[in-house]
Amino acid sequence: MDDVDHTLQLYNPRQLRVVDDIFLTPLLSLPHPSKWHDLKVIDFTPKTFEPEDIEISITHCGVCGSDVHTLTQGWGKSQLPLVVGHEIIGTVSRVGDNVSEFKAGDRVGVGAQRGSCLECRECKDDYENYCTNSIDTYNSQYPDGVVAQGGFSTAIRVHERFVFPVPEEIESHHAASMMCAGLTVFSPLKTHGAGPGKKVGIMGIGGLGHYAILWAKAMGAEVYAFTHDDSKVDDIKKMGADHVINTNKEDFHKDLVRTLDILLSTRDVFGDSVPLGDYLSMLYVHGRFVTVGIPDANDALPPIHAFDLVPNGCLLGGSKIGSKKECLEMLELARSKGIKPWVEELPMREVGKALQNLKDNNVRYRYVVKQDIA
């Protein structure tokens, strides 16, 4: 790769001032809300190539809700210009002198994290995804000041610790969305003991939720899928869920009080109308509610009372992507059980359309874009 790379930019430069205004007056709505997915191809300076780095020629990239939150700046101000995309699959085109795990030509993936300190307690305990000096795949900065850009691009440079080998049996368009969506739900399912004899609830059956059903079933758990969308019920059953609960039904939780061992929430929109206390009442003793979805900064979790936590001794928590160790386990589970995600494919130049459809909740169940800008 030269020192300049061709990629899709997130923001039309005309929008920059408008975006700044939003942050000065955060309660105003976007003046031109339709423009955030108006992308164009730009050049950018890639990460400085270091001896532990791998350069990857990108072939596929999944489209994640984080891309939308970052583009619309719902999580806070983004660094511009910005190239999103963190479900990356490609072919190794160059390796640094100290790289031990990969060689040119290997098919590999990169998820939502591209760096960490590698020295702290978390990093040494295989919790590098919780390192306080973690470097996100995009909208972040390396210590030398280079801004990190994501996967809707022709190529990327990443430290080998954050590169995952893709098993031969998993096709690239299937592997892509495993890198963030798949790993983000695999990690808490594994951590909190999903397996035979366990009852696992999944809230929100979109990109992440559909993976949660696939993994939890493959791990041997009994799966309860919670959705408000009747049109997804047949799909959800085909994914393998044992029970589908329509959350529009009044008192939907009453038949399931004290049932679930784990309740995983993939929702990235909450608001006060979600009856969190009712959801917590469905947990069995010491059952765990874990959120992986992160709503916009102004969308707090619904208020709960100690009465929602104490009677069943339940626990409330979160989970952030996953470690390399967990990613390798996830890929082995997908390989050995032949698990395939439900994806729709578009050319990379049409990623704006995929982003808009994702924001409108109009995707079954994950977009992956294929390289066509190289």
Q: Which stretches of the chain bind Zn ion, using CB under 5 A?
A: 64, 66, 112, 116-117, 120, 123, 131, 180
- Which CB, 7 or 116, lies closer to Zn ion? 116
C-alpha distances in angstroms, 316 versus 214, 260, 277, 290? 23, 13, 11, 6
Residue 268 to residue 289: CA distance in whole angstroms:
15
Residue 312 to residue 304: CA distance in whole angstroms:
14
- Which CB, 125 or 169, lies closer to Zn ion? 125
- Which CB, 93 or 133, lies closer to Zn ion? 133
Q: How far is the CB of 108 from Zn ion (least distance, A)?
A: 17
Contact 202, 266 (CB under 8 A): yes
Helix, strand, coil abundance in the chain, percent, nearest 5: 30, 25, 45
Residue 331 to residue 82: CA distance in whole angstroms:
29
Q: How far is the CB of 90 from Zn ion (least distance, A)?
A: 17
- Which CB, 66 or 371, lies closer to Zn ion? 66
Contact 277, 308 (CB under 8 A): yes
- Which CB, 15 or 134, lies closer to Zn ion? 134
- Which CB, 25 or 361, lies closer to Zn ion? 361
Q: How far is the CB of 180 from Zn ion (least distance, A)?
A: 3
CA 61 to chain centre: 12
Closest CA to 137 of 190, 207, 70: 70
What tokens does 261 get? 């061992």
Q: Which helix (H) or strand (E) holds 211?
A: helix 207-218
Q: How far is the CB of 117 from Zn ion (least distance, A)?
A: 3
Contact 58, 151 (CB under 8 A): yes
- Which CB, 117 or 333, lies closer to Zn ion? 117
Q: How far is the CB of 231 from Zn ion (least distance, A)?
A: 24
- Which CB, 46 or 322, lies closer to Zn ion? 322
Quick one: DSSP state of residue 326?
H
Other beta carbons less than 10 A from residue 342's beta carbon:
17
* Dihedrals phi, psi of 140, to nearest 5 degrees: -150, 180
Q: How far is the CB of 137 from Zn ion (least distance, A)?
A: 9
Residue 125 to residue 362: CA distance in whole angstroms:
39
Q: How far is the CB of 292 from Zn ion (least distance, A)?
A: 10
Q: Which helix (H) or strand (E) holds 59?
A: strand 53-63
Q: How far is the CB of 113 from Zn ion (least distance, A)?
A: 10
